[in-house]
Chain A
Amino acid sequence: EAGVAQSPRYKIIEKRQSVAFWCNPISGHATLYWYQQILGQGPKLLIQFQNNGVVDDSQLPKDRFSAERLKGVDSTLKIQPAKLEDSAVYLCASSHPDSYQPQHFGDGTRLSIL
């Protein structure tokens, strides 16, 4: 079974610029997550989708971050404008809707803000 696909793998931008990340979940996984992992820390949930709908975006900085999941499959996460503190790895994960199912992660996008 193919894993979670993410692109790009790396991105370098200057502060105040915008950036977008793309994620394709494991086939059949209705639930999709975006996590932020700052160096030396564990991942932190930004947003959870169930099919097209948002389940939890309580930790998403909505003044600069946005995410969408059209057609209940692929998802994009956007940052506009970027700040220095947004430098991190952005991980996408997917799972079956059952809350006891594990989340499977992609390899992430490493974002560096200059």
Chain B
Amino acid sequence: EDQVTQSPEALRLQEGESSSLNCSYTVSGLRGLFWYRQDPGKGPEFLFTLYSAGEEKEKERLKATLTKKESFLHITAPKPEDSATYLCAVRSNYGGATNKLIFGTGTLLAVQP
């Protein structure tokens, strides 16, 4: 069964203190790993898609990397506005035409000024 585990559940950083969030997964054939940001009372906002091991994507202070078993979201010199829940999701080969995303439970990031 496809599964996504995110750690830590919560992370508190000081402004400027870099860190990484982890997403480990087991899937029957990966058809993409997705990172989303979710603010309170809002829907998930798309950040990155990674398709194959070794791939990296960057956006402002965020960098996502992918291996065969896990993905990391690196946050460099975070600012308070980076505070949010970060969700990881995978899409597998199971089920043919379905584009179902399997989500982790997220990491709640708080960046203090």
Contact = CB atoms under 8 A, between A and B. Distances in A.
Nearest to A59: B100
Contacts, number: 65
Contacts of A27: none
Contact of B99 (A4, A33, A44, A91): A33
A82 B36 CA distance: 29
Interface string B72-112: 00000000000000010101000101111101111000000
A28 B91 CA distance: 22
B107 to A, nearest CB: 11
B63 to A, nearest CB: 18
B101 A48 contact: no
Nearest to B4: A42
A55 interface: yes
Nearest to A95: B99
Interface in A79-114: 91, 93, 95, 99-100, 102-108, 110
Chain A: interface size category: 20 to 34
Nearest to B34: A102
Given A40-B105, A42-B105, A100-B32, A31 B43 contact: no
B21 to A, nearest CB: 14
Interface of B: 4, 31-32, 34, 36, 41-46, 49, 51, 87, 89, 91, 95, 97-101, 103-106
Interface of A: 4, 31, 33, 40-45, 48, 50, 55-56, 58, 91, 93, 95, 99-100, 102-108, 110
